[in-house]
Structure 1
């Protein structure tokens, strides 16, 4: 068996064992026996059990991420955010053991799949910010949405008997989005100011996103970084601060 085939075989067997495990946990011994390889081969390809499990997560999550990579971005980033939340939850419910593993504290190094998913979310928020449609900086908004999205998905997977309201995910999604997005704001035309002190955070988030897209015209690298820091601080400030 070639080196590539050995690695693929180990990965496929481990993925099957994770999916069929009562708690999502597997032993390297069981993987080696099922794949008919010795322990040295497993450790040579994956380093240790954590490395193997991280590869299993990336392998299983690949199909989900492929749909996100290939999708056509709509002209409405807010609708893309809604669809992104729903597809995230749907994936978790369809792959409960894989999803629990992906978010397990035992995974000391975040799987590459998780990091890519976060980058895709942040990109959608940057598009929304450029249209003046979010209240805080995209990076903070991404953290807020992802933490809530993962929390809902984990509860649906881990406690289905308790969290049995089919509309619960949508309700949480809309509540979180309401705290981040401007209220059904239409895209703001360039050069048109948004009146009112309450719109200052949204304007700051939008200007930060536009400067990032334009690579900080007229500013040095240090000046652009400082400007972004100031704008993000304004965008992320709580009311009254």
Structure 2
């Protein structure tokens, strides 16, 4: 078992507990991510797409806005309720299914595209990869993607991560690089071909309020701490931002990473 797998097993996170913050403040993947997929022919209008671990539907909605017929799948009903409301505001329709990524119970070989955004690490990865291959048509693609904040020495992200660790010692995910070399291996073991990756950096703009909401919606805070502990954390984060980073709004460095494989 890898160190990353140990970290995820030690932390029990229920994102349904923070569905409101998740829907409001986890804005999801930027337009540039979808544009990169479209430019390479991976994303086209008319495709049937399945979004695993859809959460509040940020990837599912992005695909639907670009003309795909989309099914979003998750185990959290509260998150999918938020997703449906956000879809209504955006003017799109996504079908949501409460099921596990490892056992979708969907018919085989029916999707042109399967996506998994910001969630692959929570799955039983070999089983999820095998299930993605099962539901994809031959030649269909699996896209595993992340949109991660990037801590650098002395920056606001690093300070925020240290504060999460202070309030929740079980959270061990700090210091990430936003690159996931294990995901292509998962694809290869499951039999995917023509595997490739891409990454690029982008600055996301957050108000102080939005950054606090984004962090409350994270695994280490709202999804795993008791309400009173979340409030104590949020108070300290608010004070830290006001004292050390008074600029409002703030640019926050993020990295987009994607691994892509073709089903045989």
Would you say same fold, with TM above 0.5?
no
Higher relative contact order (CA 8 A, sep 6+): 2
Which is richer in strand?
2
Compare CA radii of gyration and give the structure with the larger one.
Answer: 1
Q: Structure 1 length as normaliser, TM-score?
A: 0.27
Which is richer in helix?
1
Q: Structure 2 length as normaliser, TM-score?
A: 0.26
